[in-house]
A = this chain, B = another copy of it.
Amino acid sequence: MSTPAQPQPTVYLGGRFIPASEAHLSVYDFGIVLGATVTDLLRTFRHKVFRLEDHLRRFYDSCKYARMLPPLSAQETAEITTEIVLRNSGLLPPAADLAIVYFITPGENTAYAGSAAAGQATEPTFCIHSFPLPFRLFCRFFIDGLHLVTPSTRHVSPQCVDPKIKHRSRLHWWLAEQEAHLVDSSAMPLLLDLDGNLTETSGSNLLLVKNGTVLSPTPRNILLGISRKVVWELCVKLGIPFVERDLQVHDALTADEAFVTTTPYCMAPVTRFNGVAIGDGRAGGPVFERILAAWSAEVGVDIRAQVLHGTRKEQATG
C-alpha cells in the first residue's frame, strides 16, 4: 500500500534485512496460534540504544525460560540492533527517537494449525523491527498524570507464565483494560495478583513514594523493567531509599506520590488510583521530579520536553 517513492523502515526477519512492507507471519506461526511469543522493547536516546546490554540479558533469559533458542547469539543480536537503528533513524525527524522490538516464536506449525500444541515447529521465527516513539500519545501522562484502576481481572500467576518474562500471551491485559475503561475511558488497569497484591500495568512498573521512601512490588509478580532498574540506580545515587515488598491497594491510596516507569517514556506520574487523588492530586511530586531530572541529565535529553513538544532539549550531562 506504500508507494515505492517513500523510503520505508528496515525489518530483520528470517535472517535477512527486508522492507517493513514485506514483513509477514504465517497464520500457522505458533506465535499466532498459541501466542507463544517472547519479546523485548528497547528505545534510543539521541539515536543511541539505551541499556542494550540489560535488554539483551533479559531477552535471552526470557528465551531460555520459554525454551526458544534464538538463531543468533546475543552479540549478533546487538550488532543487528545497531544496524536497524542506523538504517531507520535516518527516516526520523532529528528530535525523534526509535522504539526497537525483538520477538521470537517457535516457528510455523508444519502439520496444521487447528489443534495447537500437538504439531511440530519449524525453525524459530526471529524478528527485529522498529517504529518511531509516538510521543504525542504520552503527553497527557505528563500533564494530567495517569489514572490507574484495579479491575477484578487478576494478573497471571508465575506458576503459569512467569511475569518476569516479556511475552505476548496477554489476553488478560486486554480484558483488564476493557474493565478499567468502565470506570474511566482513559484509565489504565493496574493488576492485582491472586493474593491481592499490586503488580504492574500492561506496559509499565508501578512505584510508590511514602515518607521519602520509594516502594516497589516484589519481583514475584512483575517484569523486572529496565526503566525500573534505572530508577533504582538513580535512587541509590540520590540517597533515596528504595524498598521491595508486597504492596496492597491501601498503600497506593495513601501514598504521597506514585509513578510508573516504562521504556517508551521513561516515567510518568500517577495522579489518581481507583478514582482517588494520590497525594495532592497533581502530576509530579518532589521525588518524581528529582529522579526525572537525574535521568534526563544522564541521557542528555530533557525527557519530559521531548514527550511534550516532540523536541529534544539537550541537557548538560550530570
Which of A's residues lie within 8 Å of B, judged by CB? 23-25, 27, 30-37, 41, 61, 64-67, 99, 101, 106, 111-119, 127, 129, 131-134, 137, 149-162, 164-165, 167-175, 177-179, 182-184, 188-189, 192, 194-197, 202-203, 218-220, 244-246, 248-251, 253-254, 262-264, 274-276
A180 to chain B, nearest CB (A): 10
Across the interface, do A220 and B202 meet the contact criterion of CB distance under 8 Å? no
**Which of B66, B113, B196, B218 is close to A175, meaning CB atoms less than 8 Å apart?**
B66
Report 20 cross-chain contacts, Cβ distance below 8 Å, ordered by A residue.
A23-B27, A24-B25, A31-B32, A36-B174, A67-B174, A67-B178, A112-B132, A112-B133, A115-B203, A117-B170, A117-B188, A152-B159, A152-B192, A152-B249, A154-B157, A156-B172, A159-B192, A160-B172, A182-B275, A218-B245
CB-defined contacts of A37 to chain B, threshold 8 Å? 32, 35, 171
**Complex Cα spacing A25 to B203, Å:** 23
Across the interface, do B66 and A174 meet the contact criterion of CB distance under 8 Å? yes
**Complex Cα spacing A181 to B202, Å:** 24
**Which of B112, B127, B161 is close to A171, meaning CB atoms less than 8 Å apart?**
B161
Dominant secondary structure at the A interface: loop
Across the interface, do A27 and B129 meet the contact criterion of CB distance under 8 Å? yes
With A131-B113, A157-B196, A249-B152 as known contacts, state yes or no: A168 contacts B27, CB within 8 Å: no
